[in-house]
Amino acid sequence: MAFTWSIQRGLAELLEHPHLFAQAAGFLTQASLQVFAAASSKALKDAYGASGRDAWAAVDMSTWKPLEDQAEPGDADLRAALLRIPPGRLRHLVLRSSRCSDAGVREALQPHIGLEELCLDCSFSTSTAKGGSNINSNRLSNGTSNSSNNSRSNSCSNSSSSSKHSGVNSGDASATSRMALSGAALSSMCQLRRLDIAGVKGAVAAVAERPRTISGGVALLEELFLRTPDASDLDAASKLCGLRTLQVSAAPLRFDPASGLLVAAEPLPEELIRRVMECCPQLEQIHVEGCALLSEATLKCAEALANLQDLRATCPRQVVADSTAGRGTLQRLGSRATLRFL
């Protein structure tokens, strides 16, 4: 008994210091947190409140061990991870899963409408993880890994009750996976400035329609990363007039469920990319990789962008072989353009 009490007092003294708390929380087990909470709940709340905004601003669900021994996080996992974060503190979220639903994401993010950066990949699954497409969000993921450990440790004590309360568990995981995430939950994110999206139909359209669905001020989306997009995504992107960064990439091969084989991805209409350039005059960075060939007309649109600093794309060789005007456009773009020719 005396030994247990000494452990409790040691935890209390450790976690009352915000900096020590932020470093040690990721290594504490659920049992340790429960023992400490039972011994000194006030000290835990004080340490939590004093740990600073940055310590709770980011969550990377890639570091979360899913409940019920699932391969991917679901609605209950997202709810449990965000449960202890005070409303308004969450700024960055990375979520890679095909098990989350519109209702679950909307409910989990409702207290966090101030979210600024979101990496959402619903094409990720146990089948695609072995050879399919995955998105590259190193800047956001690396910036959130340490803080997400804190969130995971402090929410794990409530994870079991959260799973029961949300009604999403292993018994209905298959039903959840059939509910395609449409991106409607993003329509209320009024401060979203950076969106990295893959496998979510309608997400870009929902963000583009925010000024019509939200009363009051809405931050303009500045950075958009589209992984394996379709034509509707680019059509919606042309409505984001505040865009400064646009990156469009497609996997060279995609999985065809009908044949069970990997087949070449369909190229995107080049006209849609040109339309985004025309409608978003603030663009500074444009990367178009593996999904379209840019013609001379599109390069001229890029040349007209006053703030353009970095253009990376693929063009047909005829642009420089058969057109004097095309060669002139490339010369005027100069170091701002890094192009490949096919």
Instruction: Return the domain boundaries, the chain.
Output: 1-52, 54-252+265-312
- Give residue 32's pLDDT: 64
d(CA 191, CA 284) in angstroms, rounded, equals 21
- Give residue 66's pLDDT: 85
- Give residue 128's pLDDT: 40
Residue 118 and residue 93 in contact, taking contact as beta carbons nearer than 8 Å? yes
Closest CA to 247 of 229, 226, 277, 230: 226
- Give residue 84's pLDDT: 75
- Give residue 160's pLDDT: 38
d(CA 44, CA 17) in angstroms, rounded, equals 10
List the pLDDT tens digit at each of the 342 positions of the chain: 445 545 555 655 555 555 665 566 667 666 665 555 555 555 555 655 555 556 678 888 888 888 878 888 889 989 888 887 888 888 999 998 888 888 889 899 988 888 999 999 887 554 443 333 343 444 444 444 444 444 444 443 343 334 333 333 433 444 444 456 778 888 888 899 999 998 888 899 999 988 766 666 678 899 999 988 888 999 999 999 999 999 998 766 667 778 878 776 677 888 999 999 999 999 999 999 877 888 888 999 999 999 999 999 988 887 766 667 778 888 889 899 998 887
Q: What secondary structure letter does DSSP report for 267?
A: P
Fold for domain 54-252+265-312?
3.80.10
- Give residue 126's pLDDT: 41
